[in-house]
Amino acid sequence: MRIDAHQHFWRYHPETHPWITDAMAGLKRDFLPPDLRALLAAAGFDGCVAVQAQQNMAETEWLLQLAAQHDFIRGVVGWLDLCGPNVADALESLAAQPRLRGVRHVVQDELDDRFMLRPEFQRGIAALAPFALVYDILIYARQLPAAIELVRRFPQQPFVLDHIAKPDIRGRRINQWRSDIVTLATFPNVSCKLSGMVTEADWQAWKAQDFTAYLDVVLKAFGVNRLMIGSDWPVCTLAGSYSDVVGLVTEYIERLSAAERDAVCGATAVRVYGLP
C-alpha cells in the first residue's frame, strides 16, 4: 500500500489560518478531499495521512469526520492541548475514533526553542502511551537539540520527525543539522518524513540536486524502515506541483531495491501509524 504520509485539508479563513501570509496567496482558499483524490491516484498512492494545520480541537474533529467520509484518508494526526490539565480526558474522547493515529503541536512557532522540555508538555507526551498514538515533531533545525532530549526521555513513545526538521536548504546550511539528525536517529523510536523540503529551498529556482545531500543524510541515519514519503500538500504548491514534489523523493529512491522503495512509499507509514 502506497501512502502519502503528510498532507493537509482546510476551509480557509484569515482568522483561523493567520500563518498563511500574503506571500502564500495561493493557499488562501479551501483545500478538501476531492481536490486531493485525483492527485493521489495519479501518483499511484492508495491513501494519505491528514495532518492538523490549526491548533484547535474543532479542526481535529473535522479531520476525523472527513476520514470517516473518505476512506482514502487512512489516518489523522490531530491537535489537542498537550499542556492542558485535562489532556488525558481529551485523549480518551478523541482516541475512541480509530482514524486518529497521532497528535502534533506547531512547536516551530514557539518562541522558546526548549518548549518541548517544559514539564506540562512532557506530561502531555506521557499521556499518549495508553492510546498508542504517535507524536509528530514539527520543528526547525535549531530546535533539534530539544527534540533529542525529548525522545531520550520517552524511549517507548513513537515519534515522527516532520519535514526532516526543516533545514535551511536555500542557504545550503547542513553541518549542524546533519550532526543533530545523526544523533536523533540513534533513538529507534523515531521515524522521519521525507516531506516539506521544497518550501525550505528557493521556491522559484530549486533543482532536484539541491536536496541530494540532505536526503543522503536521512537515508543513512534512519534507514528505509524509518523513512516515509509525504507531499505536504497543499503547502508544497507554493514551490511546485504535487507530482514535482513527490517525484523528488521517488526519483531519489530509484537507486534502492523494490522492497526498500516500498518501505519509504508506504510500508513505514502503515507500520508506524498503525494504518488500516
Give dist(CA 88, CA 81) in Å, integer.
10
Q: In what order do the strands lie in the sheet with 73-78?
A: 3-7, 47-51, 73-78, 100-105, 134-137, 159-161, 190-194, 227-229
Quick one: pLDDT at residue 201?
A: 98
CA atoms 33, 34, 35, 40: torsion sign: positive
Q: How many CB atoms sit inside 10 A of residue 202's CB?
A: 13
Cα→Cα distances 158→124, 136, 162, 187, 243, Å: 14, 9, 13, 10, 29
Give dist(CA 121, CA 68) in Å, integer.
29
Q: What's the average model confidence in pLDDT over 191-195?
A: 98
Quick one: pLDDT at residue 202?
A: 97
**Please, which residues bridge with residue 228 across strands?**
193
Local confidence band at 14 (pLDDT 50, 70, 90 cut-offs): very high
Asked if residue 268 lies in contact with residue 2, where contact means CB atoms within 8 angstroms, the answer is no
Residue found under cell 476520514: 67
Beta strand pairing status for 159-161 and 134-137? parallel
Number of domains in the chain: 1
CA atoms 25, 136, 40, 64: torsion sign: negative
> Which amino acid belongs to residue 258?
A
Quick one: pLDDT at residue 242?
A: 98
Residue count (the chain): 276
- Per residue in 25-68, pLDDT (tens digit) is 999 999 999 999 999 999 999 999 999 999 999 999 999 999 99
Range of the domain at 251: 3-273
Q: What's the average model confidence in pLDDT over 142-171?
A: 98
- Per residue in 99-155, pLDDT (tens digit) is 999 999 999 999 999 999 999 999 999 999 999 999 999 999 999 999 999 999 999
Quick one: pLDDT at residue 40?
A: 98
Asked if residue 82 lies in contact with residue 122, where contact means CB atoms within 8 angstroms, the answer is no
Q: Where residue 266 sits, what CATH number does that domain have?
A: 3.20.20.140
Quick one: pLDDT at residue 146?
A: 98
